[in-house]
């Protein structure tokens, strides 16, 4: 309720009490504030409370953004045909804007960065291989084949940028007219901007619309051209390809991790079922690395 009697709809974001997460609400607040200040389509953040005494855990408050997030609606419903036409350009512009944010700004010093002397590609590969080896309950020859392919030719280092880390259909709010807000910033880090382009092309994020490799929306070349037009660095298709293979491999590893947490006692039918999705990424990896 505002002075004068108006009502404003806001969203409060916090972790459930006792929930253990590595991301911090203060960091996410800072990131969203920086993105909003740069004119990107993100919810405007209003205030951040780090004192857990107030609500039990730290939280922040942001503007409510109305709209839809369900990918299948976007890709199939007639109502969203204009959004399907507008989104390739809008998503490309959003990514170019994210990648142009200054990662040396003091407010973003918290962002994870690749260790000194390591390229982002090599660092991400090593980090995820370690995660995989630590949790897998089964041998996965298909994931080992993909790992050999990835390790053989990681892309050369390029100018480091802010990587959103989970930029895809399903993590944006859209309306019938197109993009309204980019959400889910908790995996943001400093790295190779091509990582975001590759992740957006991962087969699972096409939600069945496989004829259009970029989020079920358009062709890779079309998206890369729109990204460059919006101010992004020229896309090296081989580097984007590497990150697409890496994205499918990483998503497979995340599913292996989810299955492991189910086996270790997390009671969730969704976590259980994710273990059986690994084969989808395995097939895609075999196809992508055939030549």
Q: Is 106 in the site for another protein (CB under 8 A)?
A: no
Among 84, 99, 128, 140, binds another protein (CB under 8 A): 140
Nearer to another protein by C-beta: 195 or 282? 282
Give the one residue of 28, 160, 196, 282 binding another protein; rule: CB under 8 A. Answer: 282
Q: How far apart are CA 170 and CA 142, in angstroms?
A: 27
**Nearer CB in complex with another protein: 67/107:** 67
By CB under 8 A, residue 254 contacts another protein = no
Rank residues 91 and 217 by Cβ distance to another protein and give the closer one.
217
Site residues for another protein, 10-29, by CB under 8 A, read: none
What 3-state DSSP class applies to 67? Answer: coil
Q: Contact between 265 and another protein (CB under 8 A)?
A: no
Q: How far apart are CA 261 and CA 267, in angstroms?
A: 9
Structure tokens at 2: 């505002």
Query: Does residue 139 bind another protein (CB under 8 A)?
Result: yes
Could you tell me the smallest distance in angstroms from the CB atom of residue 236 to another protein? 24
Task: Give the one residue of 93, 95, 142, 188 binding another protein; rule: CB under 8 A.
Answer: 142
- Minimum CB–partner distance for residue 284 and another protein (Å): 9
Minimum distance of another protein from residue 52's CB (angstroms): 26
Geometric angle at alpha carbon 178, from 239 and 245, rounded to 5°: 20
**Shortest Cβ distance from residue 268 to another protein (Å)?**
8
The rounded distance, in Å, linking the Cα atoms of 128 and 148 is 14
* CA gap 281, 245 in Å, rounded: 9
List Cβ<8 Å contacts ≥24 apart for 131-139.
131/253, 131/257, 132/253, 132/256, 135/256, 135/257, 135/260, 136/256, 136/260, 137/256, 137/259, 137/260, 137/263
Question: Cβ contacts of residue 153 below 8 Å, gap of 6+?
Answer: 242
- Footprint (CB under 8 A) of another protein, residues 149-168: 152
Q: How many CA atoms lie within 13 A of 231 on its CB side?
A: 11
What does the alpha-carbon distance between residue 40 and residue 61 come to, in Å, rounded to a whole number? 18
Stretch that binds another protein, among 47-55, 83-91, 213-221, 277-285 (CB under 8 A): 277-285
Nearest distance in Å: CB 117, another protein: 24
Catalog residues that contact another protein under the rule CB under 8 A: 138-142, 144-145, 147-148, 152, 210, 268-270, 272-273, 276-277, 279-280, 282-283, 286, 290
């Amino acid at each position: 309720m505002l002075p004068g009697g108006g009502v404003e709809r806001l969203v409060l974001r916090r972790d459930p009490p006792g929930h253990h997460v590595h991301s911090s609400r203060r960091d996410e607040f800072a990131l969203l504030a920086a993105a909003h200040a740069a004119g990107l389509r993100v919810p405007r953040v209003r205030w951040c409370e780090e004192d857990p005494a107030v609500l039990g855990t730290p939280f922040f408050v942001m503007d409510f953004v109305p709209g839809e997030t369900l990918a299948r609606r976007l890709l199939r419903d007639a109502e969203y045909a204009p959004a399907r036409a507008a989104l390739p350009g809008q998503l490309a512009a959003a990514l170019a804007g994210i990648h142009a944010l200054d990662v040396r700004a003091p407010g973003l010093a918290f962002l994870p960065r690749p260790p000194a002397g390591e390229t982002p590609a090599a660092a991400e590969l090593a980090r995820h291989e370690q995660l995989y080896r630590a949790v897998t309950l089964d041998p996965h020859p298909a994931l080992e084949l993909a790992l050999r392919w990835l390790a053989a030719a990681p892309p050369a280092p390029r100018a480091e940028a802010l990587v959103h880390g989970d930029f895809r259909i399903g993590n944006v709010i859209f309306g019938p007219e197109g993009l309204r807000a980019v959400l889910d910033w908790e995996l943001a880090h400093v790295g190779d901007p091509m990582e975001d382009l590759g992740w957006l092309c991962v087969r699972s994020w096409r939600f069945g619309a496989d004829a259009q490799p970029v989020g079920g929306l358009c062709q890779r070349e079309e998206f890369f051209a729109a990204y460059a037009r919006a101010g992004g660095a020229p896309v090296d298709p081989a580097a984007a390809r590497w990150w697409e293979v890496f994205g499918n491999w990483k998503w497979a590893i995340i599913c292996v991790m989810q299955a492991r947490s189910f086996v270790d006692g997390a009671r969730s039918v969704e976590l259980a079922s994710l273990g059986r999705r690994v084969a989808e990424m395995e097939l895609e990896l075999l196809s992508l690395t055939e030549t």
